[in-house]
Amino acid sequence: MTVDAHGKVTDLRLTPQALRLGEAQLRRTLLETIQRAQADAQRQAEATARPYIDDPAAATAVSFIREALGDNSHSPHRM
């Protein structure tokens, strides 16, 4: 399974062995694999961005851009 930097699944390959797992086991395995791949993509993206986010000037710029784009996902008032 391959995901992009946003955790979106971009490729999936099923082997004959995977197809023999049965519907329930295959579903569980796919969901677990997708979740691990998404978490890994998130960790990699955060690690790549960390040097820039830790820079106060960059953090200010990111905040400005988020505000300008209406991104409230990092707002303290988020519900």
Show the tokens assigned to 45: 């993206």
d(CA 48, CA 56): 16
d(CA 41, CA 66): 21
Task: Answer yes or no: pTM beyond 0.85.
Answer: no
The closest alpha carbon to 1, from 31, 43, 46, belongs to 31
What ranges do the domains of the chain cover?
Answer: 2-50
Write out pLDDT tens, residues 23-65: 999 999 999 988 888 888 888 888 887 777 777 888 788 788 8
pLDDT of residue 66 exceeding 50: yes
Q: Residue 77 has what pLDDT?
A: 41
Rounded alpha-carbon distances, angstroms, from residue 29 to 2, 8, 14, 17, 54: 15, 17, 11, 12, 36
